[in-house]
Amino acid sequence: MATPIVDVHTHVYPPKYVELLKSRSEVPYIRTFDSDLTARLIILPREDDPSTPSTARGRPIGPEYFDIAKKIAFMDQHGIDISVISQANPWLDFLSASEATDAAVEVNDDINNMCEKYPGRLFAFGTLPVKAGAEACVREIKRLKGLKWMRGVVLGTGGMGQGLDDPKMECVYTTLEEAELPVFLHPHYGLPSEVYGPRAGEYGHVLPLSLGFPIETTIAVTRMIVSGVFDRHLALTLLLAHSGGTLPFLAGRLESCILHDAHLKKLGKLEKRRDIWDILKKNILLDAVVYSGVGVRAAVEASGEDRLLFGTDHPFFPPLEDEDTHQEWLSVATNYAAINKVFEGDKEKGGAVLGGNALRLLKLQAE
Ligand code: URA
Ligand code: ZN
């Protein structure tokens, strides 16, 4: 039997979370503007500018964001056998300590129940109550380990508020290692809007999505590397969104900058450290959501073809044409084509990237 195709980067806003966003009037929120009947999802402060026409604010949010039957229809349409769903950004990052713990339980149970409806076709990465602190996160990780369809956690780059090099994250990493659950690291915040210049409004979402997102991820994981997270947590596994942002391309420069840094040397930090190439090959998994053969090759070179995993980023990047035409999504076709081009003539390696690696690394056999 052919290896199944597995999508490891595919999002959902569980119904409980949609309810929560609809009840809010501050970012993030969902609302219908007077001039437009489609509900819109506003997830970033820069999307909330009242001078922006409502049709350009945030993005329209339809059932493909929360109705799991739509996810299955999308999978069937694109030949995807299994999806590992994750809550989309901004997860629970904006909830206060007192709200976050209960919300995590509700949202994670909601997602696990979605998986239960389609046994063996859906698995998930759970969400952590980051603002409730390390102990609450540790408790939720242990609870997730007992939920049938959970295979890891999705984390934003902010961690508990101070980033992923925050010493408070240490016990979270230890718990994840012990539970053998990987972190799916995904961007949300991008870069400060000033970097995009005064004409940014003319360019839609292109700059924040194509550059802000990947650079945010690159900075977050680089901070983990330079702070020694992977020297202390040898068994921690990170699945990096969008093929690691720009990490595969910049890894050499990063390693060189570390080796030439007088401050790190003085602190003795160059003595017992793992180099970036070792971390990339032992702790990092990369998704193949990179839309080109060049990107796929860089990912293979950095982490190995046995650590690269197909993804779609559904329900983001739908065709701009009328969605009712049921056409194949260009964003998905481009990622398939990139993988097929790189692994042309090597069905085994191509099949591993399309699904075999995910089955093995995320332990996706149904129990
Ligand atoms: N835009 C988002 O906000 N999240 C994604 O995952 C992709 C695009
Ligand atoms: Zn995504």
Which whole number is the average pLDDT over 292-308?
98
315 Cα: distance to centroid of ligand 1 (angstroms): 9
Q: Is the CB of 307 under 6 A from ligand 1?
A: no
CATH code of the domain containing 209: 3.20.20.140
Q: What's the pLDDT at 351? A: 97
Q: How far is the CA of 256 from the centre of ligand 1 (A)?
A: 32
Q: What percent of the chain shows pLDDT beyond 70? A: 97
Q: Which ligand is nearest to the CA of 125?
A: 2
pLDDT of residue 37: 75
Residue-wise pLDDT tens digits, 189-246: 999 999 999 999 899 899 999 999 999 999 999 999 999 999 999 999 999 999 999 9
89 pocket-lining for ligand 1 (C-beta < 6 Å)? yes
Tokens standing for 343? 């692994």
Q: Whose CA is nearest to atom 5 of ligand 1?
A: 316
- pLDDT at position 367 is 52
Best residue among 316, 317, 332 to mutate for probing ligand 1, ranked by most atoms within 8 Å of CB: 316
Exposure on the CB side of residue 234, measured as CA atoms within 13 A = 2
pLDDT (tens digit per residue) in 276-294? 999 999 999 999 999 999 9
Residue 288 CA to ligand 2 centre (angstroms): 12
Closest C-alpha to 220, from 284, 127, 128, 270: 284
55, pLDDT greater than 80? no
Helix and strand numbers (H, E) in the chain are 15, 11
Residue 236 lies in a domain: yes
Whose C-alpha lies nearest to ligand 1, atom 7? Answer: 316
Q: How far is the CA of 287 from the centre of ligand 1 (A)?
A: 15
pLDDT confidence tier of residue 49, bands split at 50, 70 and 90: confident
CA distances from 180 to 175, 235, 343 (A): 8, 8, 30
Q: What is the pLDDT of residue 100?
A: 97
At 325 the pLDDT is 61
On the question of pLDDT at 323 being above 70, the answer is no
Residues spanned by the domain of 353: 66-361
Ligand 1 centroid–CA 89 distance in Å is 7
Q: Tell me if 15 is assigned to some domain.
A: no
User: Does residue 101 lie within any of the structural domains?
Assistant: yes
Average pLDDT for the chain: 95
Q: Is residue 316 part of a domain?
A: yes
Residue 186 scores a pLDDT above 70:
yes
Exposed, middle or buried, 286 (CB in 10 Å: 0-12/13-18/19+)?
A: buried
pLDDT at 13: 96
- What pLDDT, on the 0 to 100 scale, is given for residue 38? 83
Helix (H, G, I), strand (E, B) or coil at 59: strand
Q: Measured from the CA of 188, which atom of ligand 1 is nearest?
A: 3
Total domains in the fold of the chain: 1
| pLDDT of the residue at 201 | 86
Q: What is the pLDDT of residue 131?
A: 97
Instruction: Average the pLDDT over each of 32-41, 96-105, 116-125, 151-160 and give the range with the smallest value.
Output: 32-41
State the complex-level ipTM. 0.96
More reliable by pLDDT, 34 or 3: 3
Count the residues in the chain: 367
Q: 227 lies in a domain?
A: yes
Q: Could you tell me if the CB of 242 is within 6 A of ligand 1?
A: no
321 located within any domain: yes
Phi then psi dihedrals of residue 124, to 5 deg: -155, 155
Average the pLDDT over 327-336 and give the result.
Answer: 96
Atom 8 of ligand 1, nearest CA residue: 316
DSSP H helical ranges for the chain: 15-22, 68-77, 97-117, 134-145, 170-179, 206-207, 213-226, 229-232, 247-259, 262-266, 276-282, 293-303, 330-342, 347-351, 357-361
In a domain, residue 120? The reply is: yes
Is 76 a domain residue?
A: yes
